[in-house]
Amino acid sequence: MIQDLLGSIASTQAYRRFAAEKTSRTVLYLFFISLLFTIGGSIAMQMRIGPVVDETFAWLGSEVPTLTFSAGKVTSDEDAPKRLVHPEAKEVAVMIDTTRTEPVTPQMMKD
């Protein structure tokens, strides 16, 4: 059965054959194909996106001030607002200002 499943990946006739099988076997085949593509996609994403995500979190760890959440309020050891702009994606920016009472608008982010 496993050999049939593996062989069916490259054979269009096998797709027709599995579609004509019992419903349980067809569902098992679809599950198997989904599992293969999920594993392959996960590996590809880890190889391509993983390093970028790791770099971004390393950058955030060095740039974000220490934030403390207590009594329903976020406080920081910095009194002034801090604007974080990603070094490689300049259009990605975050403003951290724990002293503000109203949200930062997109226009303020441009200024």
pTM: 0.53
Indicate if 60 and 91 belong to the same structural domain. Answer: yes
42 and 60, same domain (yes or no): no
Give the pLDDT confidence of 17-42 residue by residue, as tens digits.
777 878 888 888 888 889 989 999 99
For residues 69 and 87, membership in a common domain is answered with yes
Same domain, 29 and 71: no
Pairwise CA distance, residues 78 & 4, whole Å = 63
* Residues 36-73: tens digit of each pLDDT: 899 999 999 999 999 988 988 998 888 888 888 988 88
Q: Quick one: DSSP state of residue 48? A: H
Final residue of a domain: which of 48, 65, 81? Answer: 48
